[in-house]
Amino acid sequence: MTAPPSETSRAADSLIATFERQIADGVLKDGEALPPEREIVQTYGVSRTVVREAVLALSNKGLVEARPRFRPVVRKPGYDAALQAAGSVVNRLLNEPSGVRNLFDLRIMMEAALVREAALFADKNQISRLQQALADNERAINDSAAFFATDVAFHSVFYEVPANPVLPSIHKAYVNWLSKHWMKMPRFPDRNRLNYEAHAAIFDAILLRDPDLAEKALRDHLDDAWQQVRETFNTP
Amino acid sequence: MTAPPSETSRAADSLIATFERQIADGVLKDGEALPPEREIVQTYGVSRTVVREAVLALSNKGLVEARPRFRPVVRKPGYDAALQAAGSVVNRLLNEPSGVRNLFDLRIMMEAALVREAALFADKNQISRLQQALADNERAINDSAAFFATDVAFHSVFYEVPANPVLPSIHKAYVNWLSKHWMKMPRFPDRNRLNYEAHAAIFDAILLRDPDLAEKALRDHLDDAWQQVRETFNTP
DNA sequence: CGCGCAGTTTTTGTCATACCAAACCTGCGT
DNA sequence: ACGCAGGTTTGGTATGACAAAAACTGCGCG
């Protein structure tokens, strides 16, 4: 039965749709492995070619995680899966002249908005988490690796203030995309101290519940960080 | 010569990488069609299976545009290709309870930041474009289809103010993701008039160069729009 | 000389089969 | 009980085949 490949589109598409539905409906639970390819072949009466194509497509969409020789594992996607899907293209764009600049500017804009929100709406719990992160950051001034980690952690708190699950994912994506540039930057204790003081200034502005001051402090901090990037990579 | 498939990973991956490089380096120019599969087979000494897998992967990454029975066309990715890659996952998330809410909140946050920037930095040219868009919007009050279009156009101007090419792409992505919900919403001239007036209020605040007022007007506008969404779909 | 249409050639989508090597499972020996 | 050796799946790839859609070709007509 050499199936006629023409109805609306490819046979693979319907298989893909089937699996997407099964994942969405929980028939295929998260963390579970897909059935073997040959079993799918028998179940749906398609060739292995189509099955492989479908699985690959699901893998590219981030719905399953397929290591080379293992069974694909279902991954119910969160918001970071969505951003991760964009990753490969973004990485290419980062190699173009103004790619890093564009993304960094976007980050400045978003974090400016976030610190405004934090200044206006952060509750006691969130402020104490900021304080904690700031203290960790200060303690790490002399350990550049630890400083980098606490730096990221401090900024990440802002992405959690609005209680929107998309935001932490965005922050993770930023860190992923830009970290390879950050990593290559020289980090010295005195540089770290300046950054810590910038963080402290932002925190103080939030304590004062002054969104304009907080935004200014954040922008100064990130503009300065950009200057460092610029000097390091000579990218105008 | 039944090639041994074991060196570091899949043979397909190296083919994918090869094409990515060729696209990045301009060997495969934008808009051009990929070579026929059998030609690739001969050129790189792999099987058609691998070629198809690679092409499919490129298609999923948005580097080539592959309609069902046509030759894949190279698409040098811009920022919207990146966001488009995230599309399929986002669409799934939009079907979950608070998915639309999360995305809409994010949009409110971003546009709030954008109108602030516009209030502070928009130049004459950009303000006149806003005015133009606003006028178009007013003229379309009695034509709901046209109103929708001019509504989108008005908001899109804000995404162009910071001259960051990422932003228009983000706006496009928003429109794509959320438009299917907007489309289903009832739109009447009186409703349109309210929305137009909200747009006008934002514009006025920008003329006054008052970022706080502009942000407030924008938030009122979008909160109101969210109320409409909520009433229409009963999604809390 | 250009243009449209029919027939021919490519090319894609799919199926089927085969093989290798890595992962997995099973049972045996200790 | 436990670990290891061997057999059994299963994924990755290659090859060959075929139907249908696209692309191409050349012919006839204006």
Q: Is A116 helix (H, G, I), strand (E, B) or coil?
A: helix
Residues A134, A154 contacting (CB under 8 angstroms)? yes
User: What share of chain B has pLDDT > 70, as a percent?
Assistant: 93
- Report the pLDDT averaged over residues B161-174: 88
Residues A110, A134 contacting (CB under 8 angstroms)? no
Distance A71 CA to D1 C1' (A): 30
What average pLDDT is seen over chain B?
84
> CB A82 to CB B102 under 8 A?
no
Q: What is the mean pLDDT of each run of 10 residues along chain A (236 residues)?
A: 47 85 83 86 89 88 82 80 71 75 90 94 91 91 86 93 89 84 76 89 93 93 85 66
Residues A164, B105 contacting (CB under 8 angstroms)? yes
Q: List, in sequence order, every beta strand (DSSP E) within B11-99.
A: 64-65, 73-74
Closest by CA to B75, choosing from B32, B15, B22, B13, is: B32
Q: List, in sequence order, every beta strand (DSSP E) within chain A.
A: 64-65, 73-74
So what's the pLDDT on residue B194?
A: 86
Q: What angle do CA A200, A201, A207 make, to 5 degrees?
A: 85
Q: Domain-by-domain residue ranges, chain B?
A: 11-74, 80-233
pLDDT band at B6 (very low <50, low <70, confident <90, very high): very low
* Shortest CA to C1' contact from B13: nucleotide: D12
Q: Which residues touch strand C (CB under 7 A)?
A: A 1-3, 5, 10-13, 45-50, 53, 69-71; B 2, 4-6, 34, 36-39, 48-49, 52, 66, 68-71
**Which residues are CB-neighbours of A98 under 8 A, at least 6 positions away?**
A235
So what's the pLDDT on residue A115?
A: 95
Count Cβ atoms within 10 A of the Cβ of residue B144 and give its class: 0-12 exposed, 13-18 middle, 19 or more buried: middle
So what's the pLDDT on residue A144?
A: 81
So what's the pLDDT on residue A206?
A: 93
Distance A47 CA to C18 C1' (A): 15
So what's the pLDDT on residue B4?
A: 43
The topology (CATH level 3) of A80-233 is: Four Helix Bundle (Hemerythrin (Met), subunit A) (1.20.120)
Q: Tell me: the pLDDT tens digits for B46-72?
A: 899 899 988 988 888 888 888 888 888
pLDDT band at B16 (very low <50, low <70, confident <90, very high): confident
d(CA A82, CA A72): 18
User: Quick one: closest CA in A to B58, which residue?
Assistant: A60
d(CA A108, CA B106): 15
Count Cβ atoms within 10 A of the Cβ of residue B181 and give its class: 0-12 exposed, 13-18 middle, 19 or more buried: middle
Least confident of A68-77, A176-185, B16-25, B199-208: A176-185
So what's the pLDDT on residue B110?
A: 94
Residues B61, A89 contacting (CB under 8 angstroms)? yes
* Mutation site for B-interface testing, chosen from A14, A103, A104, A109 by largest number of B Cβ within 10 Å: A109
So what's the pLDDT on residue B235?
A: 59
- B89, B106, B167 member nearest A164 (Cβ): B106
Between these two residues, B85 and A235, which has the higher pLDDT value? Answer: B85
The topology (CATH level 3) of A11-74 is: Arc Repressor Mutant, subunit A (1.10.10)
d(CA A14, CA A20): 10
- Min Cα–Cα distance to chain B from A138, Å: 30
> CB B109 to CB A113 under 8 A?
yes
Residue B160 φ/ψ, nearest 5 degrees: -100, -15
Task: Identify the residue whose Cα has the smallest distance to the C1' of C18.
Answer: B2
Closest by CA to A106, choosing from B75, B79, B152, is: B79
Residue A188 φ/ψ, nearest 5 degrees: -120, 155
d(CA B80, CA B170): 7
